[in-house]
Structure formats: C-alpha cells, structure tokens
Chains A and B, each alone.
Chain A
Amino acid sequence: MPDGPVATLSGVTRTYGGVPVLESVSIGFEPGVTAVVGPNGSGKSTLLRVLVGATEPTAGEVTLPGATGPKPLGYLPQRVPFREGFTARETLAFYARLVGDDPDAALKRVGLGDAGDRRVEALSGGMRRLLGIAQSVLGDPSLVALDEPASGLDPGMRERAFRAAAERADADTAVVVCSHALDLVDEHADRVVLLRRGEIAVAGPLDRLLDEHGAADARELYRVVVGETSAPARDEGDGDGSDGSGSDGDETEPAVHVTGVSDR
C-alpha cells in the first residue's frame, strides 16, 4: 500500500457566479473506497470534477502524488455521457484503443458481456451506468472518481453498480464515489467525506466517524452531522429506473448551494 494519498486537494475553492460551491477543501484520498456524501448542492459533484481536472478550482490546488500510469484517472460523471448510435462495445472500444485495453474484457468485468452489441440508447439506465463504470476503469487508473454510480437504479442494479466500483479499490487504487445511497456506503466504503455547504463537515475512516459521533450507521452519522431531521432527499435507487440524470442537481455546475434551499 502506498505511504501517502493517491490524490490531495489543498485549500480548494470553487465559485460559480461569485457564489462558493466548494470552500477551502483540503483532503487526501487514500487507496480504498471513499464515499463523498452530503445534501444536494453541497458540492459533491464539483469536488469530483475538480479532482479529475474537469473543473479548474478558483483557489487551491490538486495534486496526484500516487496516481501513475498512462491514464492515472478514471471518471464517470453523474450523467452518463456516451454518444448515441454506438453500441456498448464500440463505445468502450474507442476508449480502450486510447489506452491499449480490451473492450470485451471490460464489458465482462461489469457483467455486460452479452450486451456488447446493444446501442447505448437501448441500454437501461443501470446498464449505461455499468458501461460508464467499465469505461472509468479502463487503463487501470490509480484514482477512479464516480459520481453517483447507483443513481436512479433499482435495488439489484444499484448494488451491482456499487460493487463493480468498489471491487476496483485495492492497495494501489483509490475509488472515490459520490453517493446518496448510505446503505451502500455502509456496506462498501472504507472512508467517508461528508460535505456541508461546500465545506468538509467530517472526514475519515467510516468506523472511526461512527464511533466519534455515536452513530450506528452512515445514515445516522449523516443526520447527526448535517443536522437534518430526515434522511437524504432521495436515496439512489428510489427513483424511477431512469439513468438518474439530474436527480441530484449537483451535476450541473451552476447548481450552487443556496442557504436554506439546497440543503433541505
């Protein structure tokens, strides 16, 4: 296991329209599964985008001391973005060619071996997410960032999606997952980062945080720390089986935190 973190954020701030979405966030992501949780608009997606370089921070810096190889990062946005008109295999083949990987092996890894000839638009929301996860781990990246991989999926599919993501985490690989699915966080996450209004409320190993806050599970920890009287707005998997796009409102960058609105 590497001595230090795979990636670090130091004093990262990001604003939109002058409104801070992330404020002075400093954290290191170590090998294993780290779940980033928080209310809608708390900056989860922005944190992931900054982490993978898709969004430039307005202050602070991101370093990748432990991310190596030709493709150090893997990324799956909240809205799976693949072009329509291409089959699942063709979609992965494009990315696989860029890193010399095998698209068919990648499809099999996530259980889509039989769906390779289906067009992207003909895949269910869950299958598209699995395809996205397969894409994100092509080239064996050291850091895999997944934005709500289980969003909008049925219980079986969300478990499958989360497990597929978690299986990538090993002694050299950090998997960072934004999620509202706190039951899956309990099951798979080694560490938790809880965001509140663009700042880190708590962060650390899940077991330690549960002990420190006297919480039985991640859901209770969330309630204690965020101070909400109810569960997160909508757990992943409670949706309608769509691909979940827009379910969080965190994906679209301008969806900034608005005090008193976005965290209720």
Chain B
Amino acid sequence: MTGPLSGVATVFRRELATVVRTPGYGVLAAGLLLVVVGLLAAGGGGATGFVPAVVDLLLPTEVLVPLVAVVLGYRALLSDAESGELAVIRTYPVRVGEYVVGVLLARTVALVAVVGVPYALVGGVVWLTAAPDTGIFATHTGVDSPVLFVRFLALVLLLGAAYVSLAAAVSALAASRRSAIALGVLALVAGVLGGDLALLRSLAAGASPTTIPEALALTPNGAFRGLVFEHVIGVAFAPEGEFVATGRAVAALVVWSLLGAVVSGAALAYGRRVDAVIEEIRSGFGG
C-alpha cells in the first residue's frame, strides 16, 4: 500500500534511473561545459572575476539553459504515453499528480546535474584562476565575490526549472515525438524572444519606461535577467537599483514552473475526456 509521497518517490526513482542511463544527457552536460568554457575564454571575463564572467555568460545562458531544459523535458511525459506504458501505470494506485510531480522532480534533478555541474565547474575555475583576488565573500556592494556566482547559479537553475516544467507541459500536450519537438522549439523561441519583443512592442506603442521593471518580471527570461542584474551584476558595480521587481520576478519563475506542472497534470488527467468530447462533436456533425 502506498501513500502520495510513496507514489511520487516510486515514479521519481524510475525517472531518475532512466535519466542516469541515458548517455545523451552526459554528452549534453559535457557539451554545455565546453560551450560555457569557450564563451568565457572568448569573452575574457573569467580571467578577471565572477561578475565579469557572469556578464559574459548572461546572454548565452538565456538561450543555452532553456535549450538544455527543453531537451531534458520535451519527452518527459510523452514517452510513457507514446509507448502505451502510461495506460498501464494508470491502472495502479498512483494519481496523475503524483506521476507528474515524480517525473518533474527527476527531470529537475537532472537539470541540476546537467546545467549546475558545468556552471559550478566554471565558477570554480574562475575562483582559482582570476587575476584579482576573488576569494572575498562580499558583505557589501562593490566587491566581487563567489557568493555572487552562487547567486547566479541559483538563478540559472530557477530559470532552467521553469523551462523543464514548461517543456514537460509540451510533452504532455504533444501527440508524437515530432509534434513534441515542434512545440518545444516554439516554446523555446517564444520564451527566449517573445517576452522581449512584447516589451519592445509595448514601449513602441507608448507604454512608459517606468513599467519596464514590472513588465520584465513577467516572462522567465526577463525575470531571470532582471534578477541577475539586480542581485549579481548590480551588487558589484552599482548601488542597488530597480532593474526588476525582485518579488515579482521570483514569483514569476515559480509560477511558470507551477504552470507547467499544472498544464501537464491537466493534459494527462483530462486529455482522454477532451478527445472523446471532440469525437462526439465530430460524430454529431457527421451524423
């Protein structure tokens, strides 16, 4: 007999084992490490400290991390549905919510490994090799510090978690691997570019620039970028300013994560019913 936590834990273990046994994810992590190291070497920021390194990495991270997260999540819920195993799992006393949470948690742990480890390694290299003394743990603004890089890493993982969750929602909505890829790419492009384009459009339409900090916080990328400026880059180089509404930005990233989970659960729980209703309507027109 199992309780909800036991159901989540059982699904989590299976999903994590699947991730661990997928060699592609190791390759993905190694590839990400190479790219990040390459970016730092090309930008030169890593040689001078954490904040310059973050400046070098910020923009590429806004593309790389969502990309990795989508790769980790775009088939997370589709694979069981596609193979028919989900129909088997649903004959067991595990609710859709438990199943989704178990899968998402495992994929998020995978994200921590695939994204977190390369970024942490890069942070370690900066700590060891940067020319100025980067061993100071900042207690006030204006000082570069490993703490700032740790903050950056935490924000990177928060951004990644939001995209993993959204990618899982895509996988729950998709009918096939091909449609999952198409929807995943669409979500990626919309997430990476959509928010900024919408912001630019609203400014062009006459919106006040003073609304930027609040508007920026609404999208995952905007919230992430704003938080990095506010709590990493801004801390070292400028008095604390209003790059973004912090609470709103953090809440936005959490809400995007929850939204993905809720959409995933709803798609799995009600997808068959919706399909049947559509069939009923179709039959009605046909008859």
Contact = CB atoms under 8 A, between A and B. Distances in A.
Interface of A: 14-18, 20, 49, 52-59, 70-71, 73-77, 79, 81-83, 85-86, 90, 94-95, 97-100, 135-136, 139, 141, 251
A99 B276 contact: no
Given A85-B18, A139-B92, A99 B87 contact: no
Interface residues of B, number: 34
Given A75-B87, A85-B21, A55 B92 contact: no
B92 A54 contact: no
Q: Which of A15, A16, A56, A76 has the most CB of B within 10 A?
A: A56
Interface in B1-41: 1-2, 6-7, 10, 13-14, 17-18, 21-22
A175 to B, nearest CB: 14
B84 interface: yes
Contact of B279 (A18, A76, A81): A18
Nearest to B10: A97
Contacts of B83: 79, 81, 83
B16 to A, nearest CB: 12
Contacts of B22: 85
B92 A98 contact: yes
Interface of B: 1-2, 6-7, 10, 13-14, 17-18, 21-22, 79-80, 83-85, 87-94, 272-273, 275-276, 279-280, 282-283, 285-286
A99 B6 CA distance: 10
Per CB-CB distance, the 6 closest pairs between chain A and chain B, nearest first, are A54-B87, A56-B276, A81-B85, A18-B286, A81-B84, A81-B83
A59 B280 contact: yes
A98 B272 contact: no
Contacts of A17: 282
Given A70-B93, A85-B18, A98 B282 contact: no
Given A15-B280, A54-B90, A74-B91, 16 more contacts: A14-B279, A52-B87, A53-B91, A54-B87, A55-B276, A56-B276, A71-B92, A75-B91, A81-B83, A83-B14, A83-B85, A95-B92, A98-B2, A98-B7, A98-B94, A99-B1
Contacts of B91: 52-53, 71, 73-75, 141
A77 B88 contact: yes
Contact of A18 (B17, B80, B87, B285): B285
Given A74-B91, A98-B2, A58 B283 contact: yes
B286 A77 contact: no
Contact of B282 (A18, A49, A74, A90): A18
Q: Please classify the interface of chain B as helix (H, G, I), strand (E, B), loop, or mixed, using the class held by over half of its residues.
A: helix
A15 B283 contact: yes
Contact of A16 (B10, B273, B279): B279
B237 to A, nearest CB: 48
A151 B93 CA distance: 28
Contact of A77 (B10, B84, B94): B84
Contacts of B93: 70-71, 98-99, 139
B272 A97 contact: no
Contacts of B14: 83, 86, 94
Given A81-B88, A85-B18, A94-B14, A58 B276 contact: yes
Contacts of A95: 88-89, 92
Contacts of A54: 87, 90, 272
Contact of A76 (B21, B88, B92, B286): B88
A137 B258 CA distance: 35
A16 B285 CA distance: 13
A85 B79 CA distance: 14
A49 B10 CA distance: 25
A53 B84 contact: no
Contact of B92 (A18, A59, A99): A99
A20 B65 CA distance: 46
Nearest to B6: A97
Given A18-B279, A18-B285, A55-B272, A94 B87 contact: no
Contacts of B17: 85-86, 90
B273 A56 contact: yes
Nearest to A141: B91
B105 to A, nearest CB: 16
Contacts of A79: 83-84
Contacts of B7: 98
Nearest to B83: A81
B1 A100 contact: yes
A141 B2 CA distance: 16
Contacts of A135: 88
A17 B276 CA distance: 11
10 contacts: A17-B282, A18-B279, A20-B283, A53-B90, A75-B87, A83-B18, A98-B10, A98-B92, A98-B93, A99-B1
